[in-house]
Amino acid sequence: MEHKDKRHNSTTESEKNIHTDFTNNMTYGEYLQLDQILSSQDRLSDHHDEMLFIVIHQVSELWMKLILHELNAAIESIEKDDLQTSFKQLARVSRIQSQIIQGWDVLSTLTPSEYMEFRDFLGQASGFQSFQYRKIEFALGYKTDHVLKIYQKDRELYADLEKAFKAPGLYDVAIKQLAKAGFTIHPDLLNRDYSTPYEEDQSVRDAWLTVYQNVDQYWDLYQLAEKLVDIEDSLQQWRFRHMKTVERIIGFKMGTGGSSGVNYLKKVLDQRFFPELWDLRTEL
């Protein structure tokens, strides 16, 4: 008993500085605005599992917000020739991607019968309409103007997306680094219309191949290339898990947003962001 009392007194003494009076100070919940965050899960049905559906998608959007924060910072760092900083930012993107991929494992606990109980309440709302996901695609260089029409309802959002649509992507600034390093890059690529999808180019392919054949000489460019491969690899894993989760829950039904559902998700798996970095692996 005496031993327990001493331990209790020791714990009390060591924790005596814990703040308990927040009358005039900001709390943890206030800093994070938890009242807003935790009151934003408004189910449209009375089905228990709709909470799971909402939370998983909200968490994914928060992770995507952080991905965009880091991707945009990395693009800016590369433009400033600060590759070391960009490596940290891109590595963080990859770690975030590992978290967002695991979200599908949680959602896959939703069975087809359970989802059908509240699916009709979604109307035409769909993850296909995620504007943050579109901005991630834009930052990685995949741009299709028809998706912009989805967002015309909100002028401010549309203007923001249009700006991202026309801005150089991660691969564009990486290619400029190849030119700065002395590689001969087709001049049309260095001042191209960034609102058009990137197409494979032999001069870029030759430059990256040289980088990989001379790692010690082009160490920074080699690291940059591998960071890009990490991100595309993880994005494709995310897409695959998305496709399989949708197939598991709704089979081959049409998506709520009007897409062909699983068939559409299978098709986007063929999209490539940094094609030369994958092709050169066959040539090495």
Residue 54 annotated as part of some ligand binding site: yes
Please tell me the number of Cα atoms within 13 Å of 123 on its side-chain side: 3
Residues 21 and 158 in one domain: no
Residues 118 and 246 in one domain: yes
Q: Which tokens go with 263?
A: 């068939």
Residue 78 annotated as part of some ligand binding site: no
Residue 186 annotated as part of some ligand binding site: no
pLDDT at 3: 59
pLDDT tens for each residue of 236-263: 999 999 999 989 988 877 666 666 678 8
Q: What is the pTM of this model?
A: 0.90
pLDDT tens for each residue of 157-173: 999 999 999 999 999 99
Over residues 92-110, the mean pLDDT reads 96
Residue 67 annotated as part of some ligand binding site: no
Residue 158 annotated as part of some ligand binding site: no
Residue 37 annotated as part of some ligand binding site: no
CATH of the domain at 145: 1.20.58.480
Residues 93 and 213 in one domain: yes
Residues 12 and 89 in one domain: no
Query: How many domains does the chain contain in total?
Result: 2
Residues 23 and 140 in one domain: no
Residue 69 annotated as part of some ligand binding site: no
Judged on CB neighbours under 10 Å (0-12, 13-18, 19+), 138 is buried
pLDDT tens for each residue of 105-158: 999 999 999 999 999 998 888 877 899 999 999 999 998 888 888 899 899 999
Residues 21 and 131 in one domain: no
